[in-house]
Homo-oligomer: A and B are copies of this chain.
């Protein structure tokens, strides 16, 4: 088992990473400074089929355990589901000494985290991620639900009390899901840890590698990058924005295509290649863009912007991003591998590069 500690201004908590941890939940929870008298597991219908009985079995020491199953997919991150979870927790008698366990990927984590953040003004919250992508979302305390006017518009910063990452659960992920999560791992190298990025390129060279890879130590290193950034800037007033490297275009692609057409990581992969090209123009420098492109294509990523999308439409989306300020385009550019910064960038450059 790998372990690291995340230190933020509001909370310090452990991240446990290892095979079979879903069977050791009670034991790991007992090690925490907070003691919970009852536990509510929130998960989705797909994950429930695979792991819910294991998890409930591992929590049998608690007198009061219950579970609430939401539909899988982005649509469940709604206001209505949020309210339904609250009502369920109240009806079942959960109180201020209870904890909510988010068993699943990013949707479950974001939603269950927002429920935990606001139930009786905040109760215990444990992330139990079951996807590779959730290595990113489960650490750092961003919780939210969607609004018809945009994603993640209502939520809060609420750090978990622990992240318990059972890497066995990654084995059940389809190739496309693994690629989605792996793009964020690559990003963590690109923005802050060049030697980690080089190591990834060496160790994972084909789509098959991705399927058979043992992720423990890689996840620890990727999460360390995230943890360091969150420690410096919990509420995203500065350096935390670096985590959005590749996301400005990535989010725009997801939105223009309609959510679900490409995965988050597929969008981010295209966005990272694009961001590096923009950076070359911005700094008038040379970066290893082709190398990244070739490697990602070897791993099975499709890196071309779908031809049905217009440059103007994508630019408009980028300008409406939650990170935009007074309609100015903020963009994360790369100076060299392992070093990025946030700049205001001219629209015409973006249009030209698109």
Check A117–B86 contact: CB distance below 8 A: no
Over the window 116-150 of chain A, the binary record of Cβ atoms lying under 8 Å from chain B Cβ atoms (1 yes, 0 no) is 01111110000000000000000000111001011
Check A120–B90 contact: CB distance below 8 A: no
> Which residues of chain B have C-beta atoms less than 8 A from A150's C-beta?
90
> Which residues of chain B have C-beta atoms less than 8 A from A326's C-beta?
37, 95, 97
Complex Cα gap A3–B156 (Å): 30
This chain: copies in complex: 2
Complex Cα gap A96–B330 (Å): 14
Complex Cα gap A91–B147 (Å): 11
Complex Cα gap A156–B122 (Å): 6
Complex Cα gap A343–B28 (Å): 31
> Which residues of chain B have C-beta atoms less than 8 A from A144's C-beta?
121
- Any B CB within 8 A of the CB of A79: yes
Size category of the binding interface on chain A: 35 or more
Secondary structure at the A interface, as helix, strand, loop or mixed, is mixed
Interface residues of A in 295-348 (CB under 8 A from B): 322, 324-326
CB distance from A313 to the nearest CB of B (A): 20
Interface residues of A in 73-97 (CB under 8 A from B): 79, 83, 86-87, 90-91, 95-97
Given contacts A37-B326, A95-B325, A325-B95, A121 and B86 within 8 Å (CB-CB): no
Check B322–A147 contact: CB distance below 8 A: no
29 A/B residue pairs, CB under 8 Å, sorted by A: A37-B325, A37-B326, A86-B147, A87-B147, A90-B147, A90-B150, A95-B322, A95-B324, A95-B325, A95-B326, A96-B322, A96-B325, A117-B156, A118-B118, A118-B156, A119-B153, A119-B154, A120-B154, A120-B155, A120-B322, A121-B143, A121-B144, A121-B155, A121-B156, A121-B157, A121-B235, A122-B156, A122-B235, A156-B156
